[in-house]
Chains A and B, each alone.
Chain A
Amino acid sequence: MNKTVNQKAWFLVLPVLILVAFSAVIPLMTVVNYSVQDTFGRNEFFWAGLEWFSDMLDSDRMWDALGRQLIFSGVILAIEIPLGIFVALNMPKSGFWASFCLVLMSLPLLIPWNVVGTIWQIFGRVDIGLLGYTLDKLGITYNYTQDITAAWITVVVMDVWHWTSLVALLAYAGLQSIPDAYYQAAKIDQASRWAVFRYIELPKMAGVLMIAILLRFMDSFMIYTEPFVVTGGGPGNATTFLSIDLVKMAIGQFDLGPAAAFSLMYFLVILLISWVFYTVMVNLDKRDGV
């Protein structure tokens, strides 16, 4: 087939280029711009080179926030993935109750982040919150504004409440795609419940589970609103995750340079992890595709 050469066709790509430029490239470049400059106010900037980057790499503050962030993401993944699978395995396969469960489980996913934060903020209050009040009456010391453990438990439980449904729904979709014949064959082969899970259900769910892990990891790695509403990053810095710290630095303290360097490194970490997930998923697909 002969290719028609028409360089004017490039103009058709232009709208996309403009859109991407305004939505991503220009804002990102502004951040890059800030990260290599310093200012003493009055809109006067001068060149600072990579100073902010080396400052940030040396700062305990960023490493602490990163550490807390990794622990948080690790903990919620370790809870939400197995719990989501467990819920999916125990959901009805069809009929009224299947639809009922699906709707019920989608509900937390539909609630805006801010509202989720407010719900839990009130729920956990000792004076008026159902949870806080009950625990207090039971004689359990629970105060997320002062106690680090209580704050962490609240933030983790809130995330689990908010997002386990997503994992469960994805896992459920994976389970629904398994033909009955597999379960029948397993019965004939006298496979145990564990073997059915290990050799039939888990392999068939592997693809969607990778997506679930990726989504939950990325989302928890960038979490801001809910813990900010509930604990404001406290007590002290106990629940100050990367985003919260970044906002404090950029908007609270107006340290634009370090905050910009921080954002860029944050962005690179996320990019790197996404790339790893992407590669793993593509390889999974390839294995399946043969």
Chain B
Amino acid sequence: MAKITLDNLAHSYLPNPAHENHYALKELNHDWIDGEAYALLGASGCGKSTLLNIISGLLQPSQGRILFNDRDVTHAPTAERNIAQVFQFPVVYDTMTVRDNLAFPLRNRGADAGYVAERVQQIAQMIGMEDELNRKARGLTADAKQKISLGRGMVREDVNALLFDEPLTVIDPHMKWELRTQLKSLHHEFGHTMIYVTHDQTEALTFADKVVVMYDGRVVQIGTPQELFERPAHTFVGYFIGSPGMNLFDAEITGSTAQVAGTTVDLGAGYAPKGGKTQLGVRPEFIRLNGSGDGLPAKVTRVEDVGRHKIIRLDVAGQPVSAIAEEGATVPSENTAIRFDPAGINVYADDWRVRAEEEAA
């Protein structure tokens, strides 16, 4: 168990990166606090797996250092780092039995046979494969194989960190939920530092204490699920987290009001964005629809009933906007307009969030 520090870390797959765009992982400084569960969230190809492989030592970074409990391990081989990592697709040793597969990492470290047997039994119970311990791993279904991979990742108790690279992609939904719960309880029990890569926001938000959102090789925000929801630091976070994602409106900002498509909007606080393209980000939860023409004129294009609430698709000045309404709410058909709840307005300049003046002070 360890605190993992990334110091000025960056990585490029090209031999001589000259431009910032050549980096798959852009310069990054971050401490992964010992014993916390992190989710690394982002679209495919944003550098999540690269970062994970650098931490586990499968990849040497082009620049910067990695420290485990303040000890430099940048060039230490994977085995020395004592890390467990589970990959997106199952990796099992075909010729071994399920039992030997689970015991493999322990035996490689020369663990005592009695302890190995006991630990393998525990893990088998956790992944629900006690009855299949003696069969060969060859010929099992993909999700059974992935459960073995997960089990192999969890079998060592003394690892510095547990890394998961989208491990539940091939698992069916019911088992997914159960395994996620198991992982959480494992975390509570042993307090390993866990980093869980995913592009599924539900998975990230339910699993982690802290969510790290990556976009285009850069960490754009690190925060609790609530922070990500209420105060997205980057428009990508707003778009990526939440269903539907945050609405963005081009706006001109003067103090505590903004001009959006010719209508004045009250921001509830003063902002002083420094140049660039300014936008308002408002989550669908904070958009109120009325039938009295009060606010931004909007046209209802579609209403989707998704169970507990309704998603209303709107056309505001030629731009699609989503709003969420209570299940029983009536959707006005004429003279429709929207207003924003000031508590839910975020201001962005060139895609990065601008803090309100009193917040900054």
* Bound together: yes
Which residues of A are at the interface with B, using a C-beta cutoff of 8 A?
A: 179, 181-182, 184-185, 187-192, 195, 199-200, 203, 287-288, 290
How close is A118's CB to chain B, nearest CB, in angstroms? 45
B6 in the interface (beta carbon within 8 A): no
- Complex CA–CA separation, A290 to B56 (angstroms): 33
CB-CB under 8 A for A287 and B108, given A185-B149, A187-B78? no
State which of B89, B95, B104 has its C-beta within 8 Å of the C-beta of A189: B104
CB-CB under 8 A for A199 and B96, given A185-B149, A189-B104, A190-B105? yes
The 8 A CB mask of B7-38 against A (1 = contact, 0 = none) is 00000000000000000000000000000000
Contacting residues, chain B, for A195 (C-beta < 8 A): 104, 108
Whether A288 pairs with B109 at a CB distance below 8 angstroms is: no
CB-CB under 8 A for A190 and B139, given A182-B91, A184-B87? no
Whether A189 pairs with B108 at a CB distance below 8 angstroms is: yes
How close is B151's CB to chain A, nearest CB, in angstroms? 12
By CB atoms of chain B within 10 A, which of A187, A200, A288, A290 has the most?
A187
CB-CB under 8 A for A288 and B138, given A187-B58, A188-B78, A192-B108? yes
Contacting residues, chain B, for A199 (C-beta < 8 A): 93, 95-96, 104
Whether B79 pairs with A187 at a CB distance below 8 angstroms is: yes
By CB atoms of chain A within 10 A, which of B77, B79, B96 has the most?
B79
- Complex CA–CA separation, A254 to B121 (angstroms): 73
Complex A-B: 13 CB contacts under 8 Å: A181-B87, A184-B58, A184-B85, A184-B87, A188-B56, A188-B84, A188-B105, A190-B78, A190-B82, A190-B108, A195-B108, A203-B93, A290-B138
Contacting residues, chain A, for B94 (C-beta < 8 A): 203
B99 in the interface (beta carbon within 8 A): no
How close is B83's CB to chain A, nearest CB, in angstroms? 7
- Complex CA–CA separation, A200 to B104 (angstroms): 13
- Complex CA–CA separation, A181 to B56 (angstroms): 13
- Complex CA–CA separation, A280 to B44 (angstroms): 43
Whether A287 pairs with B87 at a CB distance below 8 angstroms is: no
- Complex CA–CA separation, A153 to B153 (angstroms): 51
- Complex CA–CA separation, A188 to B53 (angstroms): 11
Whether A287 pairs with B152 at a CB distance below 8 angstroms is: no
- Complex CA–CA separation, A182 to B153 (angstroms): 14
Indicate the size class of the contact surface on chain B: 20 to 34
How close is B96's CB to chain A, nearest CB, in angstroms? 6
Whether B138 pairs with A189 at a CB distance below 8 angstroms is: no
Contacting residues, chain B, for A192 (C-beta < 8 A): 108
How close is B58's CB to chain A, nearest CB, in angstroms? 5
How close is A189's CB to chain B, nearest CB, in angstroms? 4
How close is A42's CB to chain B, nearest CB, in angstroms? 65
Cβ < 8 Å to A, chain B residues 245-291: none
- Complex CA–CA separation, A188 to B152 (angstroms): 10
- Complex CA–CA separation, A181 to B89 (angstroms): 8
How close is B94's CB to chain A, nearest CB, in angstroms? 5
Whether A190 pairs with B79 at a CB distance below 8 angstroms is: yes
Contacting residues, chain B, for A203 (C-beta < 8 A): 93-95
Contacting residues, chain B, for A184 (C-beta < 8 A): 53, 58, 85, 87, 91
How close is B288's CB to chain A, nearest CB, in angstroms? 50
State which of A179, A182, A287 has its C-beta within 8 Å of the C-beta of B138: A287
Contacting residues, chain A, for B56 (C-beta < 8 A): 188
How close is B296's CB to chain A, nearest CB, in angstroms? 51
Question: Can you name the residue of chain B whose Cβ is closest to the Cβ of A184?
Answer: B58
CB-CB under 8 A for A200 and B105, given A184-B58, A184-B87? no
- Complex CA–CA separation, A195 to B78 (angstroms): 16
Question: Can you name the residue of chain A whose Cβ is closest to the Cβ of B92?
Answer: A185
How close is B243's CB to chain A, nearest CB, in angstroms? 31
CB-CB under 8 A for A190 and B109, given A185-B87, A185-B149? yes
- Complex CA–CA separation, A203 to B79 (angstroms): 23
The 8 A CB mask of B61-97 against A (1 = contact, 0 = none) is 0000000000000000111001111010101011110
Contacting residues, chain B, for A182 (C-beta < 8 A): 91
State which of A181, A190, A287, A288 has its C-beta within 8 Å of the C-beta of B91: A181
Question: Can you name the residue of chain B whose Cβ is closest to the Cβ of A290?
Answer: B139
- Complex CA–CA separation, A236 to B149 (angstroms): 61
Contacting residues, chain B, for A185 (C-beta < 8 A): 85, 87, 91, 149, 152
Contacting residues, chain A, for B89 (C-beta < 8 A): 179, 181
The 8 A CB mask of B45-62 against A (1 = contact, 0 = none) is 000000001001110000
Question: Can you name the residue of chain B whose Cβ is closest to the Cβ of A203?
Answer: B95
How close is A218's CB to chain B, nearest CB, in angstroms? 27
Complex A-B, nearest 6 residue pairs according to Cβ-Cβ distance, in ascending order: A290-B139, A185-B91, A187-B78, A189-B105, A190-B79, A190-B108
- Complex CA–CA separation, A88 to B14 (angstroms): 28
Question: Can you name the residue of chain A whose Cβ is closest to the Cβ of B53?
Answer: A184
Whether B108 pairs with A191 at a CB distance below 8 angstroms is: yes
How close is B195's CB to chain A, nearest CB, in angstroms? 14
- Complex CA–CA separation, A218 to B92 (angstroms): 35
Question: Can you name the residue of chain A whose Cβ is closest to the Cβ of B100?
Answer: A199
Contacting residues, chain B, for A190 (C-beta < 8 A): 78-79, 82, 105, 108-109
Contacting residues, chain B, for A287 (C-beta < 8 A): 138-139
The 8 A CB mask of B186-212 against A (1 = contact, 0 = none) is 000000000000000000000000000
How close is A152's CB to chain B, nearest CB, in angstroms? 37
Question: Can you name the residue of chain A whose Cβ is closest to the Cβ of B56?
Answer: A188
Contacting residues, chain A, for B105 (C-beta < 8 A): 188-190
- Complex CA–CA separation, A287 to B95 (angstroms): 10
Contacting residues, chain B, for A191 (C-beta < 8 A): 104, 108
Whether B93 pairs with A188 at a CB distance below 8 angstroms is: no
- Complex CA–CA separation, A191 to B91 (angstroms): 14
- Complex CA–CA separation, A80 to B109 (angstroms): 34
- Complex CA–CA separation, A168 to B296 (angstroms): 73
Contacting residues, chain B, for A189 (C-beta < 8 A): 104-105, 108, 152
How close is A186's CB to chain B, nearest CB, in angstroms? 8
How close is A180's CB to chain B, nearest CB, in angstroms? 9
